[in-house]
Amino acid sequence: MNMPTRSGLRRLFNTLLVVAGNGAFAFAQSASAASDFPATDCVVQPYQVVDLGSPVAGLIEKVMVERSDYVEIGQEVAKINDRVEVATVELAKARTKIEAQMQAETINVEFDVKSQRRIDSLYGRQVIPIENKDAADRDVELSRWRLEQVKDLRDVRNLELERAKKLVEQKLIRSPLNGFVLIRYKSKGEFIEDQPIMRIAQLDPLNIEAILPMKYFGMIKPGMKAAVQPEVVTTETREARVVVVDRVGDAAAGTFGVRLEMSNPNFQIPAGLKCEVRFMPTSDAELAEFQSTRQKERLEAAVVAQDLTNDLVENQPEENPELISQPPTQSNQTTQSNQSINSLGPFHSKAELAEARLELGAQAVTEREETVSSIINYFVLAVGEDEAEVRARIERLGVEDFGYIYRGDYKGRYSLGVYSKERAFNRAESLNSLGLATEVIARTKTEQQWWLDISDSVSERRDEKSADKKFDRSSETTAPVVVNLVQNNQISP
């Protein structure tokens, strides 16, 4: 066997030193990266805390919840005394049912028209002077305007009824979020003006608040992952995401604040705990995907934000009104070979549209405007060719809530009330069982809506898998429902 020479041994020894040195340097780099984000103290806090008050002053009639009770969005939690407002609603309802003045003015118009015809006939035969003819024309015109005045007064009474209902609704206090009652400040019999009734906290998700040295500023970014270890309750480590990085630090302490968001299913972790957070390196692709998702959630929250109490007033449109929409046109469905067109919307005002455009930044965005018809409510009409016969049948059956339609598409017919869809069909079925033929008519309104069409290149969507559905709303459960109406706008249940 050949033995290595002295020079060969020296070269082998030098090679081993270089390899060992490189390995030590790589190990030192790995240790340095692992120590970039040391464990930091933090605090677990509620996601949102609300001191719930009342929009109007009054005496608390009842409080439906106690401390630590769970409440949902829209749940009734307290009620202010509303006896006066309820009485005002009943008075307004009674005023809307007054038909005597309408009937009297209608009879006056018919009488004056007949008199005008007779006077025109006599004037044509030169039996009476022109002054009599002018007086007859004036009487007809005045009678018609008095009838219009009565109709306008009826519309005002309907608006007064809606206002009275809104005042009643203000006395019912509802929860604005899903959460737990932390403190109940008021009880039955206490007077409230500008003080809160209770404090409610949302505990899913939770906020994690941490303070970091300024040397880590720029290294912590929104969307970054972190491992959170609560001080007590559980030994399990939870994953959280950075959602806020303060842009202004504390010069005296040399620190800045960071907020993380952590899911809390089944409310296993209470708020108000100390914790330890350790930030984990996160890829740029994951950061971009998280920020895109957060941006979409903020936009959708701004678009669908509505007053929760509006849909709870009697005879208001249904919570999700059915939209009468046409299928997309061919021009809307076709796209270029290298572009994907996604739509974000609908936006119900130019202000919402401008806010969304601002959030989207420099992306390729095209505005689109549409006119959409939606069903606001339904009214029940009596069926019959002869008006007098229909009225006699209604009165004979003892039906009280009805009115005569003096103008519009259904002039000369009798209305039996305006309701939501379910109540309208129940009303029609009840009257049909009494022997009164009815039909349910949909009342619609048209409104302008705006959309944003966003273009994303195919190459970009291949690099980021989430981009192909970044602004796609087609899979949401709130998609418009197509309603087919039968002839004469009659709705079939």
Per the structure, the complete domain to which residue 57 belongs is given by: 37-79+175-282
Based on the fold, state whether residues 160 and 92 are members of the same structural domain. Answer: yes
Q: Report, as an integer, the average pLDDT of 218-236.
A: 84
**Per-residue confidence at 330, pLDDT binned at 50, 70, 90?**
very low
**Per-residue confidence at 294, pLDDT binned at 50, 70, 90?**
low
Based on the fold, state whether residues 160 and 116 are members of the same structural domain. Answer: yes
The pLDDT score that the predictor gives to residue 233 is: 67
Based on the fold, state whether residues 353 and 470 are members of the same structural domain. Answer: yes
Based on the fold, state whether residues 146 and 212 are members of the same structural domain. Answer: no
The pLDDT score that the predictor gives to residue 23 is: 45
**pLDDT beyond 50 at 484:** no
Assess if residue 90 is contained within a domain: yes
Assess if residue 89 is contained within a domain: yes
pTM of the model: 0.49
Based on the fold, state whether residues 200 and 189 are members of the same structural domain. Answer: yes
Assess if residue 52 is contained within a domain: yes
Rounded to whole angstroms, what are the CA distances from 447 to 223, 441, 450, 483? 38, 20, 10, 17
**Which carries the bigger pLDDT value, residue 388 or residue 156?**
156
Burial of 356 (0-12, 13-18, 19+ CB in 10 A): buried
Based on the fold, state whether residues 58 and 153 are members of the same structural domain. Answer: no
The pLDDT score that the predictor gives to residue 481 is: 31
Q: Report, as an integer, the average pLDDT of 22-33.
A: 41
- Number of domains composing the chain: 3
The pLDDT score that the predictor gives to residue 201 is: 94
The pLDDT score that the predictor gives to residue 127 is: 86
Based on the fold, state whether residues 375 and 428 are members of the same structural domain. Answer: yes
Based on the fold, state whether residues 420 and 485 are members of the same structural domain. Answer: yes
Query: Of 12-21, 306-315, 376-385, which has the strongest mean pLDDT?
Result: 376-385
**Which carries the bigger pLDDT value, residue 430 or residue 334?**
430
Cα(194)–Cα(57) distance, rounded to whole angstroms? 7
Assess if residue 4 is contained within a domain: no
**pLDDT beyond 70 at 403:** yes
**Among 153, 170, 187, residue at a domain's last position:** 170
**Among 155, 170, 185, residue at a domain's last position:** 170
Please tell me the least confidently modeled range out of 199-213, 413-427, 476-490: 476-490
Cα(306)–Cα(348) distance, rounded to whole angstroms? 12
β-pairing verdict for 179-184 and 255-262: unpaired
Assess if residue 364 is contained within a domain: yes
Q: Report, as an integer, the average pLDDT of 430-435.
A: 81
Q: Residue 149: helix, strand or coil by DSSP?
A: helix
Assess if residue 7 is contained within a domain: no
**Among 109, 136, 170, residue at a domain's last position:** 170
Assess if residue 212 is contained within a domain: yes
Based on the fold, state whether residues 44 and 71 are members of the same structural domain. Answer: yes
How many helices (H) does the chain have, and how many strands (E)? 10, 18
Cα(261)–Cα(239) distance, rounded to whole angstroms? 9
DSSP 245-314: E-SS-BTTTTEEEEEEEE--GGG-S-SS-EEEEEE----HHHHHHHHHHHHHHHHHHHHH---TTGGGST
Assess if residue 235 is contained within a domain: yes
**Which carries the bigger pLDDT value, residue 347 or residue 250?**
250
Q: Residue 211: helix, strand or coil by DSSP?
A: strand
Based on the fold, state whether residues 213 and 64 are members of the same structural domain. Answer: yes
Based on the fold, state whether residues 113 and 223 are members of the same structural domain. Answer: no
Based on the fold, state whether residues 275 and 341 are members of the same structural domain. Answer: no
State residue 250 phi and psi, 5-degree precision: -100, 105
